[in-house]
Amino acid sequence: MFLFCRPFSLRSLFTIFAFSIFKLMSQLLNVLWSQYLKLPRSEMKKFMEFPIEVQAAQLKKIVKATEHTEWGKRFGFSNYKKTADWKNMLPLQDYESIKHDIHRMMTGEKDVLWPGRIKYYAKSSGTTSDKSKYIPITDPNHKDCHTKGGWRLLAAIYDNVKDCKIIEGKSILLSGSYSSDLSEFPGSTVGDVSAIIYQRINPLAVNRLFPEKEIALLPDFEKKLDLIAKDSIHADIRMVAGTPTWAVVLFKKILEQTGKQHMLEVWPKMQVFVHGAVSFVPYRDPFRKFFPSDAFTYIETYNASEGYFAVQNDKSSHDMLLLLDNGVFYEFIPMEEWDKEQPKTLLLEEVELDKNYAMVITTNSGLFRYKIGDTVKFTQKYPYKIVITGRTKQFINVFGEEVMVANTDAALSATCIEFGVKMVDYTVAPIFLTASGKGGHEWLIEFEKDPENLDAFASALDKNLMKVNSDYEAKRFHDLALERLKLNLAPKATFFNWMKSRNKIGAQQKVPRLANHREYLDELKKFI
């Protein structure tokens, strides 16, 4: 048979040989990668078995490292003996209480919150303020918190993805951007935490990422998405990591350009989507359309400017493993203490399951007893696992209903499935007491395609919210304190254009879901 075949040219033989070598090298790299991940697995096993002891060691290490800084001297860190002492050594902090000292550090002052000169700062505006926050990224924080968290994530991916081969292809990380030439802070590199970490990443790891660094760190996020969409069509993409909101925008752009029905027709070897920053609950159904395969895996992470806190280590459960050896020491404020001037905190061993807590952190970036603003619930102990329930400033509790983002996400997701529609974005605000003596909640939702019967959708949404929140259900009983929610439709691209008008388009920018005031909702209605 081979006698009748056309002979291979030397060029063809070389191409085949080169391709075979590349394939073998990729397979070898995957094997070596899998073996290396035994290290983070063993480290994770230790803190899962000895959580309290590991946390105590983390705090001791942070306090010892900073005892000769300004803050260490101010609060007597050298007198630290045991974990129980920590609560009484200094009050709880927020960004306003440390902002001045951080700005001093950014202009070059040394030994303020952390030893030496700190060059890198993560810029975060959050979802409740237009003012920028600058969080120090020290070398230990970069290495032993953010980078270590990344290794924990990779271990979780390889443990949960059958025949995982992401290292044999490319991964897209939807990162932000950074700038090193802010005139008021010469010598400091400032940007989104994802960009700060990305631009310091190991060169070997960069080779597995797509696109090249120059595009990945572009400050114009719209242009970045356009370029990624255009250039990735013919790439071998195995994993995408980013905020679901912006990933949806990217996938839609790609499908529009290719005419394909779903993303697995574009990237047939893609295995996993890593998400964080916002709840994935409202996005589950749309993503099933993008990746219509039971073998496709979703992994959630909890990483922020202030640190890398948790990772989903079991894809069959939606909670995340709290990382306890990551250069972070945790305290937790019970919900009934949130609004007090000096709220009491609980240590890890004191928390209870299924209760809302505001998280307080002490980190190897120089944050001490810092209120990060996120709320969590514990789903289990030994190992300690959490779910994110919202933000301390993103809830509605005007009438004692205690509605959290996790509640509205779950109710809206269930209602969208019931009515066969897809949500793009939403926000909710209270309707304050009227002459009738009753208040309520007002929703603004943008759909891909609006429900045919808006009133029926609103009623179903109201009922689903009662199912997931007993306090809301009690206030809604016979319209006792709350009337049925009011629902408004937002025109197409409302939230995107509104965020753009506020200069909040980026990998880590999020639409405020809930507020105990009407500022965002009224601003959006005026914008429309």
What is the distance between the alpha carbons of residues 17 and 8, in angstroms, rounded to a whole number? 12
In a domain, 187, yes or no: no
Question: Do the Cβ atoms of 83 and 61 come closer than 8 Å?
Answer: no
Q: Which of 34-38, 180-184, 319-323 has the highest mean pLDDT?
A: 319-323
Distances (CA, A) of 441 to 453, 479, 521, 523: 19, 12, 11, 16
In this prediction, residue 23 carries a pLDDT of 54
Burial class (CB in 10 A: 0-12, 13-18, 19+), 204: exposed
What is the distance between the alpha carbons of residues 410 and 280, in angstroms, rounded to a whole number? 10
Residue ranges of alpha helices (H) inside 167-299 are 193-198, 203-206, 213-216, 221-231, 244-258, 263-266, 284-290
In a domain, 331, yes or no: no
In this prediction, residue 21 carries a pLDDT of 52
Q: What's the angle, vertex CA 524, arms to CA 521 and CA 528, rounded to 5?
A: 140
For residue 425, what are the β-bridge partners? 446
In a domain, 435, yes or no: yes
Give every CB contact of residue 394 below 8 A, 6+ residues apart in sequence.
127, 128, 404, 405, 512, 513, 514, 515
Does residue 22 have a pLDDT over 50? no
Lowest mean pLDDT, pick from 129-133, 195-199, 390-394, 405-409: 129-133
Domain housing 445: 395-527
Does residue 25 have a pLDDT over 60? no
In a domain, 404, yes or no: yes
Nearest to 145 by CA among 306, 371, 275, 274: 306
Q: What CATH number should be reported for the domain holding residue 453?
A: 3.30.300.30
Q: What's the pTM value of the predicted model, to 2 decimals?
A: 0.81
Tokens found for residue 286: 């749309």
- Ramachandran angles phi, psi of 370, nearest 5°: -95, 130
In this prediction, residue 74 carries a pLDDT of 96
Give every CB contact of residue 476 below 8 A, 6+ residues apart in sequence.
462, 466, 482, 484
Question: Do the Cβ atoms of 490 and 524 come closer than 8 Å?
Answer: yes
Q: Which DSSP symbol is given to 4?
A: G
Kind of pairing, strands 307-311 and 297-304? Answer: antiparallel
Kind of pairing, strands 120-124 and 237-242? Answer: unpaired
Tokens found for residue 267: 């990237």
Alpha-carbon dihedral 450, 452, 455, 457, rounded to 10 degrees: -70
Tokens found for residue 1: 């048979």
What is the distance between the alpha carbons of residues 521 and 131, in angstroms, rounded to a whole number? 19
Tokens found for residue 314: 């079991």
Question: Do the Cβ atoms of 140 and 327 come closer than 8 Å?
Answer: yes
- Ramachandran angles phi, psi of 406, nearest 5°: -60, -35
Tokens found for residue 282: 């409202």
Burial class (CB in 10 A: 0-12, 13-18, 19+), 90: middle
Kind of pairing, strands 297-304 and 272-275? Answer: parallel
- Provide the number of structural domains found in the chain: 1
In this prediction, residue 263 carries a pLDDT of 97
Determine the average pLDDT of the residues in 56-65.
98
Nearest to 351 by CA among 324, 322, 380: 380
Determine the average pLDDT of the residues in 266-295.
90
- How far does CA 69 lie from the centroid of its chain? 31
In this prediction, residue 4 carries a pLDDT of 38
Determine the average pLDDT of the residues in 111-133.
79
What is the distance between the alpha carbons of residues 306 and 293, in angstroms, rounded to a whole number? 35
Q: Quick one: which H or E segment has residue 487?
A: strand 486-489
Determine the average pLDDT of the residues in 415-434.
90
In a domain, 91, yes or no: no
Burial class (CB in 10 A: 0-12, 13-18, 19+), 426: buried
Does residue 130 have a pLDDT over 50? no
Does residue 429 have a pLDDT over 90? yes
Please give the share of the chain, as a percent, with pLDDT higher than 90: 62
Q: What one-character-per-residue DSSP string does 211-227 give?
A: S-HHHHT-S-HHHHHHH
